[in-house]
Amino acid sequence: MTSIGFIGLGNMGGHMARNLLAADAGYQMRVFDVVESLMESVTSASTSTTMVTATQSIADAVAGVDVVISMLPAGKHVKEVYLGAGGVLDNAGVDTLLIDCSTIDPTTAREVSAAAKDKGLDMLDAPVSGGTAGAESGTLTFIVGADPQGLERARPYLEVMGANVFHAGSSGAGQVAKICNNMLLAVHMAGTAEALGLGVENGLDPATLSEIMKQSSGGNWSLNVYNPYPGVMQGAPASRAYQGGFLVDLMTKDLDLAMATAEGSRSSVPLGALAKNLYRIHQQHNDAGRLDFSSIQWLYSPDLKER
């Protein structure tokens, strides 16, 4: 029976852990989160063939397990969990596989991976794309930085939690690819909201304009499947008061990571920098941190905020 230690059971991690349990593969799972109720939400998903135990420390969660999976908010948390006293590397067994699914800076990912390698352990940085909906439905995309043998060991678990697994390269490459993806996402979401705002202010119906642009050269993911204008796309966060989805706070965090990465490589990212500033203005001016990132439509259509 494979044993898994799962650390971090928030909006993403909780769904991912439950999908592993739903696979009914006979896993034995130990979970840890600083919020006890989040652990309870996973332990209640136990099946007849899978045993889940809530633990009181990282050490208890990882001691003797075959695989450790983590989903944490930021690089400082990853360093604390893996490198801190009583953390993962202090307690993992000699052949434990380590999979960190957090979105963090590449430098921290490489530092933690190097420390794991010094102990003879395979470690992946495997950030995800797909948001909470993808986490819940098990359709996430994993963007992996790792040695090939580590990825192959991890693949059976990743394929339960997601629909796509990409090998971006060696340690840290998964984080770089995720950062590039989310910077582009911010750019085309802001551009889509701007175009829709312009059209509506000049008398166009947002649904009609969206359909025209979808079938024209302006079509993009934000417009086609995640429309930011309320009422245009049923099921999109914009049509449920921008609740759920990918938070503005998380988008601004990822854009900060993109800017830091660009600074390190002396790369020019003028559109990424503009998107970061637009999201920061939206976050602060509209108190939008806990709203979905498509709520940037408010920046161009402030009357929507009053609806």
Give the integer Cα–Cα distance in Å for 22 and 50. Answer: 9
Residue 287 has which token pair?
A: 């108190």
DSSP string, 94-105: TT-EEEE-----
- As a whole number of angstroms, the distance between CA 263 and CA 298 comes to 30
Active site residue 117: no
Q: Quick one: which H or E segment has residue 246?
A: none
Alpha carbon distances (Å) from 147 to 125, 137, 151, 168, 235: 10, 28, 7, 10, 39
Coil, strand or helix at 42: helix
Beta pairing, strands 140-145 & 128-129: antiparallel
In the three-class reduction of DSSP (H, G, I as helix; E, B as strand; rest coil), residue 274 is classed as helix
Q: How far apart (Å, rounded) are the C-alpha atoms in residues 164 and 172?
A: 19
- Residue 160 tokens, joined: 């339960």
Spell out where the chain has E strands.
3-7, 28-32, 51-54, 67-70, 97-100, 123-125, 128-129, 140-145, 162-169
Choosing from 79, 119, 178, 305, the catalytic residue is: 178
Q: How far apart are CA 228 and CA 246, in angstroms?
A: 12
Catalytic residues: 178
